[in-house]
Amino acid sequence: MQNFTKIHPEYKQKIAYYLAIFCAGMPSYHATRKALSTFHRDEEPLSLRYRGDGWPGYFKATYTNGESDRMTYNDSWGKILGRELGFRCKICPDGIGMLADISSGDSWNTKDGYPDFTEGDGKNFCFVRTDKGRQLFAEAKRLGYIDIEPLDIQKVNDIQKYQFDRRHLVGWRIMAIQFMTQGLLSYTGLGYLHAAMKANKIKAVRELVGTIKRFRKLRKHG
């Protein structure tokens, strides 16, 4: 939206705040079908939730007869949905809302240095990036819409390990696509190249080579 309003400034005054959620990517339709197939039903669900009814919540399908099936976050996203993301998501340089006034992500409990997806009381942390965002956050606190507690900033890397790793490696994926397409992509103001230089170089080369292979496969199969 920030980039959109740069191109179409006539809309800028219509937007009060820029808010973002941490995004790990959108699963493919095939992955969704694969998750639904584990319920062993022939009928299409009437409604479908990828998360909800708890924290982190369940992948849940509800049917016309009122019955429902559900799967834990770890089984749905960890084993099926998260393994088949759209290629566009693989090269997205911003899963943490860097241009937003406020961006918010799950403040996962951690276990042995990794996120723990056991059901619990829902918690989020916020990156408040602008003066407008700080004013909005303070007003939400004053009115009682949110409760706040201290967070050790050093733990954020473990809490959102996927985002931390992707932030450092996505620049190498983008470089692979730029090489393959003679500079098709255009990203500005996201600092992904700076982050890429801090990545583990062995992992970085693997990401670059892997992206080239995936892109060639994508082109071959349309």
pTM: 0.86
The pLDDT score that the predictor gives to residue 222 is: 64
Residue-wise pLDDT tens digits, 143-190: 999 999 988 888 888 899 999 999 999 999 999 999 999 999 988 888
The pLDDT of 203-219, averaged and rounded, is 94
* pLDDT given for residue 23 in this prediction: 94
Sorted by where each begins, the domain ranges of the chain are: 2-24+87-220, 29-83
140 half-sphere exposure, CB direction, 13 A CA radius:
13
At 128, list the tokens: 């408040």
pLDDT score, position 152: 87
Spell out a b/e string for 122-137, using b for 16 or more CB atoms within 10 Å of the CB, else e.
Answer: eeebbbbbeeebeebb
* Radius of gyration from C-alpha coordinates of the chain: 20
* pLDDT tens digits, 47-76: 999 998 899 999 999 999 999 999 999 999
